[in-house]
Chain A
Amino acid sequence: DQQVKQNSPSLSVQEGRISILNCDYTNSMFDYFLWYKKYPAEGPTFLISISSIKDKNEDGRFTVFLNKSAKHLSLHIVPSQPGDSAVYFCAASPYGNKLVFGAGTILRVKS
């Protein structure tokens, strides 16, 4: 039973446009959410996070939105760049317990 779901296996976006990656979760105990980025043959690297007491967090081109009532979060990348092409994992944590990851979304940014 997947508690964190990324329903889009892949997404293709033109360079300069917005990329929107989505994530849904089922466990209402999750209080902290993270996005990781992974290039082939490398380990995931932390990208951005959000606490459940917020509904938005920005860091440069990356913004994460959290809708607690819908149990949904999204990552916006504006503008998208070819170097953003990677696998993006959504992760959630219930009160500092172990992270639970989604299946990942492959983002391809076309130049």
Chain B
Amino acid sequence: DVKVTQSSRYLVKRTGEKVFLECVQDMDHENMFWYRQDPGLGLRLIYFSYDVKMKEKGDIPEGYSVSREKKERFSLILESASTNQTSMYLCASSPDRYEAFFGQGTRLTVV
């Protein structure tokens, strides 16, 4: 079974903090993605990576950055957390950019 693991289920951070969300997959997939899910907006792509050290902006990259130093790990960084970044964050990996396998999600609250 493909396993995508996100480091935290729930996080509460203060405005202005630098926040790291970690994601690890165990299936040697080339492709990894970070989405955020908000009611009425569905899943919106923040960043994705097709290979180690490579990254591309998704639809809503502002306020975020990513790091992929190893194939299995893809980190999302909130440079200076703001309240409008309160959301459910979902990491996914994919062997072929079609079917994505998701982690359990991180519910981030910025206060």
Contact = CB atoms under 8 A, between A and B. Distances in A.
Contacts of A44: 43, 90, 102
B97 interface: yes
A36 B90 CA distance: 13
Contacts of B96: 96
B105 A42 contact: yes
Nearest to A103: B42
Contacts of B48: 98
Interface in B63-101: 90, 92, 96-101
B98 A43 contact: no
**By DSSP majority rule, is chain A's interface helix, strand, loop, or mixed?**
loop
Contacts of A93: 97-98
B97 A101 contact: no
A32 B40 contact: no
Contact of B97 (A6, A41, A96, A103): A96
Interface residues of A, number: 24
Contacts, number: 58
A102 B100 contact: no
A45 interface: yes
Contact of A98 (B4, B45, B102): B45
Given A49-B98, A93-B97, A98-B33, A43 B103 contact: yes
Contacts of A9: 40
17 contacts: A6-B42, A34-B98, A41-B104, A41-B107, A42-B104, A43-B90, A44-B102, A49-B99, A89-B43, A93-B98, A96-B98, A99-B33, A99-B97, A100-B45, A102-B42, A103-B40, A103-B41
Interface of A: 6, 9, 32, 34, 36, 41-46, 49, 89, 91, 93, 96-104
